């Protein structure tokens, strides 16, 4: 008799307007057991969030979000994600080459978010950061649930 197993994978929503960059990081994330959902625009990311709100799709374990996207910016997507309390437990990594003290400060002051410069992280390092953020979120939000 087969036993039902829990998901052993993690879902990554990777919002990046450069498909080649998603593909570069896909190998490292898939090797670490992630399923990758590549999204090319802020608008598409907001559409996915609408589906998550309606529970039409499974929530990601982590979101990696570029700041400079065509149309809706990554920061606007982050704000949209954080409007919904149930998504606070999903870590968001702002992964960008755009260096701004103001944006860095806003990300720092946003629940469960991290700012990472693309030039500072190899694919394997980004995987490590994502796993660390997922584990931190589990500790924080599992603790809140039992309180």
- At 82, which CATH number? 3.40.50.2300
Task: Kindly state the percentage of the chain with pLDDT values over 90.
Answer: 76
1-14 pLDDT, tens digit per residue, is 444 334 456 899 99
Instruction: Kindly state the average pLDDT of the residues 87-109.
Output: 93
Q: What confidence score (pLDDT) does residue 5 get?
A: 39
145: nearest Cα among 79, 59, 86, 61: 86
40-78 pLDDT, tens digit per residue, is 999 999 999 999 989 999 999 999 999 999 889 999 999
pLDDT band at 85 (very low <50, low <70, confident <90, very high): confident
**Dihedral sign computed on CA atoms, order 72, 38, 49, 62:** negative
The count of domains in the chain is 1
| Residue 104, domain member (yes or no) | yes
- Total count of residues recorded for the chain: 147
Instruction: Kindly state the average pLDDT of the residues 127-147.
Output: 80
| Residue 4, domain member (yes or no) | no
């Amino acid at each position: 008799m087969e036993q039902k197993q829990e998901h052993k994978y993690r879902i990554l929503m990777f919002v990046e307007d450069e498909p080649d960059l998603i593909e570069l990081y896909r190998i490292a994330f898939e090797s670490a057991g992630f399923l990758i959902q590549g999204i090319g625009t802020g608008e598409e990311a907001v559409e996915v969030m609408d589906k998550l709100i309606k529970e039409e799709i499974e929530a990601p374990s982590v979101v990696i979000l570029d700041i400079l996207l065509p149309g809706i910016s990554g920061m606007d997507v982050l704000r949209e994600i954080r409007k919904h309390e149930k998504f606070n437990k999903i870590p968001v990594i702002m992964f960008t080459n755009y260096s701004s003290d103001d944006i860095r400060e806003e990300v720092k002051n946003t629940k469960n978010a991290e700012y990472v410069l693309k030039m500072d992280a190899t694919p394997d390092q980004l995987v490590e950061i994502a796993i660390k953020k997922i584990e931190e979120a589990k500790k924080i939000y599992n603790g809140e649930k039992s309180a």
